[in-house]
Each structure stands twice: as C-alpha cells, then as structure tokens.
Amino acid sequence: MSDKWKEQTVAVAIDGPSGAGKSTIAKLLAKELQFIYVDTGALYRAIGYMALRRGISLQDAAGIEALLPDLRVEIRYMDGSQRVLVNGEDVSDKIRTPDVSMAASAVSSLPAVRRFLLDLQRDMAKTNNVIMDGRDIGTVVLPDARVKIFLTASAEVRARRRFEELKEKGVPTTYDEVLADMEKRDYDDSHRAAAPLKAAEDAILVDTSSLDLDGAVSAIKAVVEKALG
C-alpha cells in the first residue's frame, strides 16, 4: 500500500456487533459525504447462503472451503444501493433471514473464507472513498483507515431493534429468539480465533444504547467530520 494510495482515497471503518446500527448509520453518512457504503456482512451472508443452498453442514469446514473456488462474489451498486452477486445471481434479498445470519456467523469463523473475501473488500477501498462496516475493518481489512469507529449498544437494545426490523419485513420470529441468536452470534464472533470482533486500538468507541437514530447519526458524523478535518 503506497502513500500515494493513502492520499487518493479516504476510508471510514465502522466495526461493532450486529444490531448496533452500523449499516443504517453508515448508509446515511455515506450519502451525506458522497462516499460509497460497503456492507461487508453481506459478503459473509452470501457465502453462508450458498453453503445452506448446497446443503453443506455449517460444521463442515472442509466442505465450505471446497465450495469457495466455485463462487464468484461481486459487489455492484444499483440506484446507489449495494447488491451482492454470486456467480452472476443477485442474492441481496435472500441473505437477510435469521437462518442466513447464523450461517454467515458460522462461515465467517473460517480463515479460508476471510482470506477469500479480503481482496474484494480492499479493492473497494483502493478505488473509492468508502464507509465500510463489519467486524474487522479497522483491525484487519483497512488498518490504515483514516477514521475508525467501534459502534456498540447493549444486547437487549440491539435485539429489540433487530426484532422490530424483522417484524416489519414479515419475518416470523420472537424477541426472545432474536436476543438468544444475537447473544450466540456476539459470543461466537468475539471468541473466534480468526479476526475476532474487537475494537482497534485507535478506534473511537460510540455506544448507541441511549441514542435514537438521529442522535446516533449526529454523534458519528461529529466524530467523522472532526477526523477528516
């Protein structure tokens, strides 16, 4: 990574557990700053979805690894919103179910899967100003990101938000189920050996538990504007 590259593009990394509001906030902010929003969770979801679709057990690490050479994963933008394509098929709408959330978490613990998706994420930041959200953006994917934010909120608040989102989409589930899934995903994502969810040393911590969306967006915007100068 040359210094010239660093001068040319600006990256804002937003990491944190699921349901902290990363994608909603990052999307709004990207629009304001005219940056490209990159949702990296969608990439892990796409792999998890393909594993489920091919009937590969989520415990079968070798089976999931063997699937990777068959997959061509691409990010495209349509009307300003990110779409994820696998072998030319747009899977963006199919990867938002609770089953795919759990599958994404499972496949994301495999180093081979993380390696497989690394260049795609870095390439996005090489050629665009990005706001990228995920779990390891500030620590692994873009360690030189100009701004690093670690966004969090209590598990109860995050589960409540996610439950309302799923309810709105008509996905049948209960708050208790969402909370249990979220606690399991939090635990697995932060305890895996490969790129566990953790704040980068130079990340700014923002807790959105007691903030509404406007409050959270303003808090993050202030941090980003200060850092970008």
Binding site for ligand DC (CB under 6 A): 18, 40-41, 44-45, 101, 104-105, 108, 134-137, 185, 189
| Least distance from ligand DC to the Cβ atom of residue 3, Å | 26
Q: Of 47 and 217, which CB lies nearer to ligand DC in the complex structure? A: 47
User: Which among 103, 112, 113 has a CA at the least distance from the CA of 51?
Assistant: 103
Q: Of 18 and 224, which CB lies nearer to ligand DC in the complex structure? A: 18
Distance, CA of 30 to CA of 20 (rounded, Å): 17
| Least distance from ligand DC to the Cβ atom of residue 209, Å | 18
Question: CA 168, 157, 201 angle in degrees (round to 5)?
Answer: 120
Q: Of 10 and 135, which CB lies nearer to ligand DC in the complex structure? A: 135
Q: Do residues 51 and 64 lie in contact, with contact meaning Cβ atoms separated by under 8 Å?
A: yes
Distance, CA of 24 to CA of 217 (rounded, Å): 9
Please name the residue ranges forming H helices in 54-174.
61-67, 98-107, 111-127, 155-168
| Least distance from ligand DC to the Cβ atom of residue 7, Å | 25
Amino acid at 123: D
Structure tokens at 51: 């594993």
Q: Of 135 and 161, which CB lies nearer to ligand DC in the complex structure? A: 135
Q: Of 4 and 205, which CB lies nearer to ligand DC in the complex structure? A: 205
Q: What is the DSSP letter of 39?
A: E
| Least distance from ligand DC to the Cβ atom of residue 114, Å | 7
| Least distance from ligand DC to the Cβ atom of residue 104, Å | 4
